[in-house]
Amino acid sequence: MLLRFLLLYCFCLPLAFASNNLPDLGAPDLKDYDSHTETQLGQAFSTALHTHYDLVYDPIMLSYIRRIGEKITSETGKNRNFSFFIIDNPEINAFAGPNGVIGIHTGLIASAQSEDELASVIAHEVAHVTQRHLSRTFEYQSNVNTASIASLIAAILIGSQDPSAGIATYMGAMGLNIQQQLKNSRIYESEADYFGIKYLNQAGYSPYAMGEFFGRLSKEMQIYEGTPPEILLTHPVTANRLAKANDRAAQLKTESQLLKSDSLTLVQLRLNFVTKTQTQTYNTKTLSSSETCYLNNLKNLSDQGLSRPQYDLSCLKAASEQNPKERLYKLLLAKIKTETGDSSALQDYEYLTAVYPSDFSIVYLYAKSLISFNRTQEAIQLLTQKTPKFHYQYLLYSELSKLYAEKNQNDYSYYYDALANYNIGNLPKSTFLVNQAEKITKNKKSKLYQKIIQLKNELDKISQKQQRNQPS
Give pLDDT tens digits for 170-210. 444 444 443 444 444 667 777 888 899 999 999 999 999 88
What CA–CA distance (Å, rounded) separates 157 from 153? 6
Q: Give domain status of residue 64, yes or no.
A: yes
Instruction: Name the nearest CA neighbour of 44 among 99, 92, 1, 5.
Output: 99
Q: Give domain status of residue 234, yes or no.
A: yes
The catalytic position among 88, 193, 399, 417 is 193
* DSSP character at residue 55: B
The pair phi, psi for residue 356, each rounded to 5°, is -125, 70
Residue pair 270/58 in contact by the 8 Å Cβ criterion: yes
Q: Give domain status of residue 339, yes or no.
A: no
Q: Is 190 left (phi over 0), alpha (psi -120 to 50) or beta?
A: alpha
Q: Give domain status of residue 67, yes or no.
A: yes
Instruction: Give residue 16's pLDDT.
Output: 29
Residue pair 309/299 in contact by the 8 Å Cβ criterion: no
- Report DSSP letters for 188-231, one per residue: HHHHHHHHHHHHHHHTTS-TTHHHHHHHHHHHHHHHS-SPPPHH
Residue pair 413/405 in contact by the 8 Å Cβ criterion: yes
Beta-carbon count within 10 A of 368 CB? 15
Q: What is the dihedral of CA 82, 86, 90, 94, to 10 degrees?
A: 0
Instruction: Give residue 133's pLDDT.
Output: 64
- Confirm whether 417 is a catalytic residue: no
Q: Give domain status of residue 153, yes or no.
A: yes
Instruction: Give residue 172's pLDDT.
Output: 45
Q: Is 99 left (phi over 0), alpha (psi -120 to 50) or beta?
A: left
Q: Give domain status of residue 239, yes or no.
A: yes
The catalytic position among 88, 125, 191, 399 is 125
Instruction: Give residue 445's pLDDT.
Output: 93
Q: What is the mean pLDDT of each run of 10 residues along the chain (472 residues)?
A: 40 32 32 65 83 91 96 85 92 85 92 93 90 61 45 49 46 42 60 88 90 77 56 54 70 64 89 81 83 94 72 95 95 96 97 97 98 98 97 96 98 98 94 97 95 96 79 52
Residue pair 93/231 in contact by the 8 Å Cβ criterion: yes
Q: How is the chain split among helix, strand and coil, in percent rounded to 5? A: 65, 5, 30
Residue pair 52/160 in contact by the 8 Å Cβ criterion: no
- Give the number of domains in the chain: 1
Coil, strand, or helix at residue 394?
helix
Q: Give domain status of residue 237, yes or no.
A: yes
Range of the domain at 207: 2-251
Residue pair 198/252 in contact by the 8 Å Cβ criterion: yes
Kindly report whether the global pTM for this prediction surpasses the value 0.75.
Answer: yes
Q: What is the pLDDT of residues 154-170, one digit of tens each?
A: 455 445 445 444 444 44
Instruction: Give residue 123's pLDDT.
Output: 94
What CA–CA distance (Å, rounded) separates 291 from 248? 35
Q: Give domain status of residue 238, yes or no.
A: yes
Instruction: Name the nearest CA neighbour of 16 among 159, 192, 161, 201.
Output: 192
Largest CA distance in the chain: 70
Coil, strand, or helix at residue 79?
coil
- Confirm whether 193 is a catalytic residue: yes
* DSSP character at residue 309: -
